[in-house]
């Protein structure tokens, strides 16, 4: 009896961490990138990974790796961990700000998940042409990708292929992760569009983690969902998520994927992780957050993958077609900044619980006196910020 072997699969792993930055929280120092690249080059020579690309988004060091070892490979994750540790060592030598910030443990324990870095990985059988887009955001949280990914995979006004391409017409499945409860649900589009929106419209809690093509369950997109404050139990910096999206030939076109970022929607993060601001799509050279440590940025790099090799990248937002989006983002940033410490610029109390604000408010706890002017009905008011 003959056994037909499975086609070999390729894995792409995008792993990032803030290991220290130059002059505050705005940009990675090139020497730290060089230190990380040296570790990845050694791993490539040993056959642990097939290819790699080291870059940054604002103050986050980004490692893009391809290999044949599958998702959550201890070897690959240890390689990333060692790269971050070496980069953090250089950051400390240079006196960079917040050196080693995202490395929440001293030792590697088989997987970088839960240790501070954020991870987006997917495994697939390569198509004859395998284009992907790697998104890297700074000064925001994983839920920042909810709106654009919904538009890419479920909104026909954004993605024409959902209407006119028979390979996309059946729709996609969304795996939505509850970051507070550690649970997830898989929901179908377009049948459950309204239920999907009921969840992902709360991006601080419900995050699109993976997207699958409904017709054959083929992976289409993956997002890092690590929430640093939930891991550390305190504010240690914003999560700055990464995402990988497959494009063309049965998936949305690259232009449809990018179109979803042509509206600079409001996301949580910005200064001290405590403010709403517009997500601005920028080129790699403009991925440096300065005004009020922002506004939040997103970079898109396009690659072809062939035999697990990375061909590229192309800096996809380095295009005047996005100039008006950036101009609108500037106007939104100006408008939001004029609110100063007031909501809706500052985050709501449920998010501020994980920042340093409770320490400030603690001293006021005993100064409040009872003044019941009327009976309060309905659900109990949460007062964690003053308890």
> How many CA atoms lie less than 13 Å away from 141 in the CB half-sphere?
28
Instruction: Tally the residues of the chain.
Output: 387
Residue 227 to residues 39, 40, 73, 174, 270: CA-CA distances in angstroms?
26, 26, 21, 20, 15
Q: Are 136 and 175 in contact (CB under 8 A)?
A: no
Residue 176 to residues 52, 83, 230: CA-CA distances in angstroms?
29, 30, 18
CB atoms within 10 A of CB 111: 15
Q: How far apart are CA 327 and CA 277, in angstroms?
A: 14
Q: What tokens does 148 get?
A: 């654009």
Place of tokens 């239920």: 195
**Structural element, H or E, at residue 91:** helix 74-94
User: Which residues are part of the catalytic machinery?
Assistant: 18, 235, 238
Q: What tokens does 354 get?
A: 């994980």
Q: Are 18 and 98 in contact (CB under 8 A)?
A: yes
Q: What distance separates the 2 farthest-apart alpha carbons in the chain?
A: 83
Residues 36-40: contacts with CB under 8 Å, at least 24 apart: 36/61, 36/63, 36/83, 36/84, 36/86, 36/87, 37/83, 38/86, 39/79, 39/82, 39/83, 39/86, 40/65, 40/79, 40/83
């Amino acid at each position: 009896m003959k056994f037909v072997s499975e086609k070999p699969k390729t894995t792409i792993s995008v792993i990032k961490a803030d290991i220290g930055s130059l002059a505050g929280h705005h940009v990675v120092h090139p020497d730290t990138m060089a230190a990380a690249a040296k570790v990845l080059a050694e791993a490539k020579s040993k056959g642990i990974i097939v290819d790699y690309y080291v870059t940054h988004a604002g103050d986050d060091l980004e490692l893009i790796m391809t290999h044949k070892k599958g998702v959550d490979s201890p070897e690959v994750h240890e390689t990333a961990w060692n790269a971050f540790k070496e980069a953090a060592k250089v950051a400390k030598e240079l006196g960079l700000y917040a050196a080693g910030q995202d490395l929440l443990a001293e030792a590697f324990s088989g997987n970088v998940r839960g240790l501070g870095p954020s991870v987006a990985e997917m495994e697939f059988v390569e198509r004859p042409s395998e284009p992907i887009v790697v998104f890297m955001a700074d000064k925001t949280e994983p839920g920042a990708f909810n709106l654009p990914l919904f538009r890419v995979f479920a909104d026909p006004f954004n993605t024409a292929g959902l209407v006119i391409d028979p390979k996309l017409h059946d729709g996609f499945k969304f795996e939505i992760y509850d970051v507070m409860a550690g649970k997830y649900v898989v929901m179908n589009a377009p049948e459950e569009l309204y239920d999907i929106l009921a969840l992902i419209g709360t991006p601080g809690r419900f995050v699109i983690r993976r997207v699958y093509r409904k017709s054959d369950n083929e992976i289409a997109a993956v997002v890092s969902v690590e929430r640093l404050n939930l891991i550390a139990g305190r504010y240690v910096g914003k999560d700055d998520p990464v995402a990988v999206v497959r494009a063309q030939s049965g998936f949305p076109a690259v232009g449809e994927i990018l179109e979803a970022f042509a509206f600079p929607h409001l996301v949580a993060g910005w200064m001290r992780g405590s403010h709403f601001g517009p997500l601005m799509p920028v080129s790699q050279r403009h991925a440096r957050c300065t005004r009020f440590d922002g506004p939040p940025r997103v970079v898109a790099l396009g690659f072809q993958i062939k035999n697990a090799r990375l061909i590229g990248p192309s800096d996809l937002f380095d295009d005047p077609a996005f100039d008006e989006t950036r101009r609108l983002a500037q106007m939104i940033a100006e408008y939001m900044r004029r609110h100063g410490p007031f909501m809706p610029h500052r985050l709501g109390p449920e998010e501020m619980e994980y920042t340093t604000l409770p320490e400030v408010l603690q001293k006021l706890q005993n100064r409040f006196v009872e003044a019941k002017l009327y009976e309060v009905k309905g659900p109990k008011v949460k007062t964690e910020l003053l308890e």
